[in-house]
Structure 1
Amino acid sequence: MCQVVTREFKVIAVKHRGLYKDFAELVPKAAHQFLQRVPNLAGTEVTVYEPKASESHTEGTFYVGLLVNNALDTLPEGAEFLDIQHSYGMIRGKGTGMGSLYKMLDQWVDEQGYARDTLENYILETYHPVENDVEEVEIYIPIKV
């Protein structure tokens, strides 16, 4: 279920800041607004998170956007192009089970003896619609290999 992957993500996204405790509300709202602003862009929906460094780290940055094959000649207003490449512990599952997916992936990373590499690397989630409106999510946690 869990695996190690080395992957490159090319992302067109808009940067936001907020309190970590509010991310569950802020992220979907920001993603919805972004998708409404760029109806002509196609791609896999993605969220890029600044990892929480400690308990006292209450505010963080996140990006919402789309995976693309190449940088665009012109970006939507307020958007940035991110080119992120790293090794990750990865899991895929139903979007409704986000908490348990993170828990399983964290436990697997520890059991395999990998160290998280989250000081300057982002956690990513990609969203994949499947039938019956159940969304699958892939979670990527940066690790040192």
Structure 2
Amino acid sequence: MCLVVTREFKVIAVKHKGLYKDFAELVPKAAHQFLQSASNRTGTEVTVYEPKASESHAEGTFYVGLLVNGEFDNLPEGAEFLDIQHTYAMNRGKGTVMGSLYSSLDRWIDEQGYVRDTLERYILETYHPLGNGGEEVEIYIPIKS
């Protein structure tokens, strides 16, 4: 179910760099390390990605962390606070079909005539545990409003 939302994300996260081709391994590993170091915190898990600007753009930045209400006393070591607000095309589904969620969202953005706004904006993913051990993911791709 794709839709357009305007949303603010307040995030406590740790910044990482890596090759885009390695993100499938790097991101879950970094997220696991962050969640262990922030074990006394609660919140929705989030990953914030620098979009790939072109085929030759090989290395990118990503953040792993938690959504917060903006009320926090001290940041985990190495973490920073991000306040991100924009208009997004959004899709939600099971984390096991991440590729098809992105494909259908990309197709929907094009069919609806929206324009991606990824020059200085981040793509976000939020993760929501399901009772059966699985998880749902929400994908947010910035668009021009």
Coarse TM-score class (shorter-chain normalised): over 0.9
Query: What residue number does 1:76 align with?
Result: 76
Q: CA deviation at 1:71?
A: 4.4
Q: Distance in 2 between matches of 1:92 and 1:121?
A: 20
Q: Distance in 1 between matches of 2:51 and 2:41?
A: 27
Q: Distance in 2 between matches of 1:35 and 1:73?
A: 17
Query: What residue number does 1:116 align with?
Result: 116
Q: C-alpha offsets along residues 80-108 of structure 1, whole Å, 9 cap, x if unaligned?
A: 00000000000000000000000000000
Q: Secondary structure at the match of 1:133?
A: coil
Q: Distance in 2 between matches of 1:139 and 1:70?
A: 21
Query: What residue number does 2:23 align with?
Result: 23
Alignment of 1:56-135 (within 5 A): 56-135=56-135
Q: Distance in 2 between matches of 1:123 and 1:44?
A: 16
Q: Distance in 2 between matches of 1:71 and 1:102?
A: 32
Query: What residue number does 2:39 align with?
Result: 39
Corresponding letter in the other structure for 1:120: E
Q: C-alpha offsets along residues 35-87 of structure 1, whole Å, 9 cap, x if unaligned?
A: 00011010000000000000000000000000000142311110000000000
Q: C-alpha offsets along residues 7-46 of structure 1, whole Å, 9 cap, x if unaligned?
A: 0000000000000000000000000000000110100000
Between 1:65-74 and 1:131-140, the stretch displaced more is 65-74
Aligned pairs, number:
145
Corresponding letter in the other structure for 2:70: N
- Whether the 8 Å contact between 1:94 and 1:135 is mirrored in structure 2 is yes
Gap runs ≥5 in structure 1: none
- Whether the 8 Å contact between 1:71 and 1:81 is mirrored in structure 2 is no
Corresponding letter in the other structure for 2:29: K
User: Identity of counterpart residues, as a percentage?
Assistant: 81
Q: Secondary structure at the match of 2:124?
A: strand
Query: Alignment RMSD, CA only?
Result: 0.6
Corresponding letter in the other structure for 1:108: W
Q: Distance in 1 between matches of 2:49 and 2:34?
A: 16
